[in-house]
Amino acid sequence: MTTARRETPIYDRVALIGLGLIASSMGHAMKRAGLSGHVAGHARSAETRAAALEIGFCQSVHARAAEAVMDADLVVLAVPVGAMGPIAAEIAPYLKRGATVTDVGSVKQAVVESVAPHLPDHVSFIPGHPMAGTEHSGPYSGFATLFENRWTLLTPLPEADPDAVARLTDLWHGMGAKVSEMDPVHHDKVVAVVSHAPHLIAYTMVGVADHLAQVSNSEVIEYSAAGFRDFTRIAASDPTMWRDVFLTNREAVLDILGRFTEELFVLQRAIRMGDGPLLFDYFTRTRAIRRGIIEAGQDTAAPDFGRGKPDRA
Ligand code: NAP
């Protein structure tokens, strides 16, 4: 999917707060499609800020988040979920009247609770979550096509200005994403199933292999089959981000893990009892789900899961 380049930007000035995978991918995608005028950036470390300038997805970088948001028409919070509340408190007095504030956090209700109370009435707060990512992080990991054909879920509060929601939706469409709106609590339940619990299971499986005394590390690496390799890829994801995800989406994740444990016991018992038909039926049903994902264009049937070399430009 390619998006046409616009003559006039959707936002004259955008501030990216946090300059890692998601923010840098937005920077590349906005630049490619002409969606933004000036892009100002802020990250904690001078090293990350210098990298963002050198790569060129920001036109200016600022040591303080408050400086980056001045005059911005759109402010994007792209830091770990646990860092968003304090940053919102810091930037609140400097936000331009009529600006839109959004975020890209993987959890929504906790972001609403930690960010919204700090923001002045004259800005529109529209929480968001691009359902796209890789196990890489930092300013060098971003690429322009990350969001193409992926869903971005917006969870606007009831009082959100519809024009501001429409404009932000246009921005995500311009970056190649499909956009849907939902309630933040519902969002957190959905992502607990499709993203958060699977990550925890991957972390656990890799942890189990690590603890197995009889399988030495070199054997795990040398003989790793595709299934385990995919777990290790997921389990290589950023520890800070994922710690915050589990701490802030606790109830939804615990609910899914409870259901997961029940299913695991069903399969464990079937294996112990030699119940082949149960296993066969179960795996036939799960195979159909994989087919549905491919038919919906959310992955390819290629053996590398379609995660070829990213295109940064
Ligand atoms: P990332 O690559 O690890 O980058 C995080 C950025 O935030 C870095 O630039 C870091 O700056 C900055 N940062 C961290 N704490 C900060 C603080 N207290 N003050 C200022 N800057 C701070 O992260 P990411 O993968 O882009 O994730 C960003 C957000 O997107 C998270 O909320 C995550 O839940 C969400 N998300 C991630 C994915 C994914 O697959 N990665 C997918 C969808 C949504 P330094 O480099 O200077 O430390």
Full pLDDT tens readout for the chain, 313 residues: 556 788 899 999 999 999 999 999 999 999 999 999 999 999 999 999 999 999 999 999 999 999 999 999 999 999 999 999 999 999 999 999 999 999 999 999 999 999 999 999 999 999 999 999 998 999 999 999 999 999 999 999 888 899 999 999 999 999 999 999 999 999 999 999 999 999 999 999 888 887 775 566 677 777 777 778 888 889 999 999 999 999 999 999 999 999 999 999 999 999 999 999 999 999 999 998 888 888 888 787 775 544 444 434 3
Radius of gyration of the chain (CA): 21
Residue-wise pLDDT for 106-156, tens only, equals 999 999 999 999 999 999 999 999 999 998 999 999 999 999 999 999 999
| Domain ranges across the chain | 11-182, 186-295
Q: Which CATH superfamily is domain 186-295 in?
A: 6-phosphogluconate dehydrogenase C-terminal like domain (1.10.3660.10)
As beta bridge partners, residue 36 has: 11
Q: Ligand 1 pocket check: which of 16, 24, 26, 44 to mutate, most ligand atoms within 8 Å of Cβ?
A: 44
Query: In angstroms, how far apart are the furthest CA atoms of the chain?
Result: 67
* CB of 146 shorter than 6 A to ligand 1: no
> Fold match between 11-182 and 186-295?
no
* CB of 19 shorter than 6 A to ligand 1: yes
Q: Ligand 1 pocket check: which of 42, 45, 84, 106 to mutate, most ligand atoms within 8 Å of Cβ?
A: 106
As beta bridge partners, residue 40 has: 15, 60
pTM above 0.85, yes or no: yes
Cα distances (Å, whole numbers) of residue 215 to 206, 221, 234, 303: 12, 10, 21, 26
Residue 19's closest CA among 96, 82, 103, 77? 77
Distance CA 277, CA 309 (A): 40
CB 53 within 8 A of CB 27: no
Model pLDDT, residue 312:
41
What is the architecture, at CATH level 2, of domain 11-182? Answer: 3-Layer(aba) Sandwich (3.40)
End-to-end CA distance of the chain: 14
* CB of 103 shorter than 6 A to ligand 1: no
Q: Ligand 1 pocket check: which of 241, 247, 248 to mutate, most ligand atoms within 8 Å of Cβ?
A: 241
Distance CA 82, CA 282 (A): 38
User: What burial class does residue 116 get, using C-beta atoms within 10 Å of its C-beta: 0-12 exposed, 13-18 middle, 19+ buried?
Assistant: middle
Residue 65's closest CA among 86, 91, 84? 91
* CB of 234 shorter than 6 A to ligand 1: no
